[in-house]
Amino acid sequence: MTTHPAHSAPAREVHLAAHFPGVNNTTVWTDPAGGSHIDFDSFERFARTAEAGLFDFLFLAEGLRLREHKGEIFDLDVVGRPETATVLAAVAQVTERLGLAGTFSATFNEPFDLARKLGTLDHLSAGRAAWNVVTTNNAFTGANFRRGGYLDHADRYARAEDFISAARTIWESGGDEAAGAGGDAGPAQPGGRFAHSSRFFDIEGRYPLPRSRQVHPVIFQAGDSPDGRDFAAGSADVIFTRHSELEEGRAFYADISRRLARFGRGEDELKIYPGVTFVLGDTEAEAHERAAHVRRQQVSGPGAIAFLEQLWGRDLTACDPDGPLPEIDPDFDNADITRGRVRHVKDPRPVARAWRERAEAEGLSIRELVIEVSARHSFVGTPGRVAEQMNEYVQQRAADGFILIPHLTPGGLDEFVARVVPELQERGVYRTEYPEGGMLRDNLGLAGYRPEAQWAAARAAARAAEHSIGERSAADEHSTEHSTQSQAAEKETAHV
């Protein structure tokens, strides 16, 4: 059965991926089924389930310093974070087709070192590596590297773009032809020369590896500002986004399509994957009951107070989580009460006012209010209903696929793979086997790698056009308007 009549365009395929949670506020730590977030067994079990479900990739976020709340490591987060490339190299050995997407900061790494690491992962996995490029937004992390907050927001993106360009140049230098890139010139050789001279890097040398199968590991981007979106449109293959509701997803998709056109790219060249959560049940009522139960486990009393403190910038431990919201206003100057976390709300005062009004109007306690306004479950329902909704998002171009963030590790994908995947397959919108080719690019439906010279030329042409007609400011006005709307929805999330 397919949801689209035979005379319309063929249905777009739904894609799935899996996020192994790091530091986060989705995981229910108290559940007896919850396992380690460090032991390899957990990664292996999780990855094998994702592969059994024919998922595109496993995704690992990264924090280079554990976040702190009121000067302490926040013990309602996970404590401990293994190194991403090492974990993915191990997962490569127990999987065959699953893509391996790791997050690495362009601000606190160096191109040669990271290109070599990711090139190695692409070799070890026969073409399944991806790099989620993040710009890491604070001086708190920089202290690990004796760099402090050495780049402002715009320069972090300028460096990231330059970094990818350098990395792609390095990857390309590794021998003439990659086995998977269509050449028949024999085995690729290491030792090609590279040189990249730019505002941020002045490097030259020899790359100690041959080209890997994908030549360029797939590039992901996560970051939502106009600069971040332009960076994705000009340099990335995939976006990991937090726009997980239908209308905001459609607006985001349309905004990215406009930006892609400026870089001479089509919308199918950049895949959009929101991070989403889900709860299933045998009936709609049961699913909603389970979802409410999970939300209460995710938001404990102390967790609710800490959540409020993040917005208020104040110590609120004197408040009762089962009582009313504090009368006092947020301390605008103390936004750093939680360090190492991505803040999406710029001015907390209108948000606090709206929360207070809502709590009064609906008779909600602090904990109940936090349950309502912190990240909700994206998909709740029977397996059939969830499949239907996901399909709708994809057909309506609110997403190309979804990065599932389960509330339990490592078993949180099991039920989804057993029950929702067959529903999607029955609707004819989900693969029944992995595609030919075996590379992550094939899973994603992306074409082969495109030489860095072409990327650079497209960026230069876009920038030249932008300066002559001021196109960029029009697109940015639109996205600013959109992000104001998201703020009005009073939603705070933290996937990092």
Helix 301-312 vs helix 366-373: crossing angle, to nearest 10: 70
Q: How far is CA 122 from CA 30, 59, 213, 227, in A?
A: 36, 15, 7, 29
> What is the full DSSP assignment across 105-116?
ESSSS-HHHHHH
Provide the 10 A C-beta neighbour count for residue 463: 15
Residue-wise DSSP of 307-364:
HHHHHHTS--TTS-TTSPPPSSPP-TT-GGGEES-----S-HHHHHHHHHHHHHHHT-
Q: How far apart are CA 132 and CA 222, in angstroms?
A: 7
Question: What are the backbone dihedrals phi and psi of residue 187, each rounded to the nearest 5 degrees, phi first?
Answer: -60, 140
The residue (of 303 and 340) whose beta carbon lies closer to ligand FMN is: 340
Give the list of residues 6+ apart from residue 6 with CB closer than 8 angstroms, or none. Answer: none
* Contact indicator for 304, 367 with CB cutoff of 8 Å: yes
How do 99-105 and 129-134 pair as beta strands? Answer: parallel
Nearer to ligand FMN, 63 or 217 (CB): 63
Q: Which is nearer to ligand FMN, 156 or 262 (CB)?
A: 156
**Smallest separation (angstroms) from ligand FMN to the CB of 326:** 28
Element (H, E) at 168: helix 153-172
* Cβ proximity to ligand FMN, 173 vs 310, nearer residue: 310
**CB of 238 or CB of 305, closer to ligand FMN:** 238
What the block records as the tokens of 279 is 């709860």
CB of 103 to ligand FMN, least distance (A): 4
Task: Considering the complex, state which of residue 212 and residue 479 has its C-beta at the smaller distance from ligand FMN.
Answer: 479
Identify which of residues 217 and 228 has a Cβ nearer to ligand FMN in the complex.
Answer: 228
Distance, C-alpha 232 to centroid of its chain = 12
* CB 62, min distance to ligand FMN, A: 5
Shortest approach of ligand FMN to residue 37 CB, angstroms?
A: 14
State the minimum distance, in angstroms, from the CB of residue 339 to ligand FMN.
13
Q: Find out whether 176 and 193 touch, Cβ atoms under 8 Å.
A: no
Name the minimum Å distance from CB 66 to ligand FMN: 12
Of 189 and 487, nearer to ligand FMN (C-beta) is 487
In the complex, which residue's CB is closest to ligand FMN?
228
CB of 154 to ligand FMN, least distance (A): 10
Q: From its phi and psi, is residue 445 left (phi > 0), alpha (psi between -120 and 50) or beta?
A: left
- Applying CB under 6 A, the residues found at the interface with ligand FMN are 61-63, 103, 105, 134-137, 222-225, 227-228, 240-242, 342, 495-496
Smallest separation, CB 412 to ligand FMN (Å): 19
What is the smallest separation between the CB atom of 240 and ligand FMN, expressed in angstroms?
5
The Cα 20–Cα 37 span in angstroms is 8
If the CB atoms of residues 224 and 492 are measured against ligand FMN, the closer one turns out to be 224
